[in-house]
């Protein structure tokens, strides 16, 4: 019984050590690292033709300049723009996403970001919400009215 208990303790200790060593290796990894303040933007309800622009702030938490090579929307109605110049370690920048709010209905889109970040070279951020239907044109017609 003592041998079984000792063997289990050794297996547990070895597993714990390898997990700690793997975590330390990741922490020591040199290079650019990208960290987002938020990964999803919820528009809530947006008026038809309303402001469909949002921003995603990110920081280079690594030791080398961060370069975003590409940012691609999941469809033509989701258009990202991003900084083209390298971002120095410790600096913050933004990716702007513009959604076409002339398309009524649910929003559930993504933007795939490709960079030289060692922690996540491909990162997906998301937008969600609902675009309200186009309002009917014209003022309401008043039937009847005050009589004198």
Q: What is the DSSP secondary-structure string of the chain?
A: -HHHHHHHHHHHHHHHHHHHHHHHHHHH--S--EEES-SEEEEEEE-TT---EEEEEEEE-SSS-B-EEEEEESSTTEEEE---S-B-TT-EEEEEEEE-TTS-EEEEEEEEEEE--SS-SEEEEEEEEEEPPPPPSSPPPPPS----
Identify the pLDDT of residue 120: 96
Q: Any residues with CB less than 8 A from the CB of 52 and at least 6 apart, and which?
A: 43, 46, 98, 99, 100, 101, 131
Between 2.60.40.10, 3.40.50.2000, 3.90.1150.10, 2.170.190.11, what CATH number should domain 31-131 receive? Answer: 2.60.40.10
> Taking residues 75-103, what's their average pLDDT?
97
Percent of the chain's residues with pLDDT above 70:
74
At 16, the pLDDT band (50, 70, 90 cuts) reads: low
Show me where the domains of the chain are located.
31-131
Per-residue pLDDT of 42-62, as tens digits, reads: 999 999 999 999 999 999 999
At 11, the pLDDT band (50, 70, 90 cuts) reads: low
Its pTM stands at: 0.73
Identify the pLDDT of residue 9: 58
Per-residue pLDDT of 112-145, as tens digits, reads: 999 999 999 999 999 999 999 998 875 555 555 5
Please say if the pLDDT value at position 7 is more than 70: no
């Amino acid at each position: 019984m003592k041998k079984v208990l000792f063997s289990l303790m050794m297996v547990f200790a070895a597993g714990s050590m390898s997990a700690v060593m793997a975590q330390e290796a990741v922490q020591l990894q040199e290079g650019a690292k990208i960290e987002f303040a938020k990964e999803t933007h919820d528009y809530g309800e947006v008026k038809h033709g309303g402001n469909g622009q949002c921003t995603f702030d990110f920081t280079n938490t690594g030791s080398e300049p961060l370069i975003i090579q590409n940012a691609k929307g999941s469809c033509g109605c989701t258009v990202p723009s991003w900084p083209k110049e390298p971002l120095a370690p410790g600096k913050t920048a933004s990716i702007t996403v513009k959604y076409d709010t002339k398309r009524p209905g649910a929003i559930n889109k993504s933007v795939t970001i490709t960079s030289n970040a060692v922690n996540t070279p491909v990162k997906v951020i998301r937008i969600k919400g609902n675009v309200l239907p186009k309002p009917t044109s014209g003022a309401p017609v008043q039937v009847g009215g005050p009589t004198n």
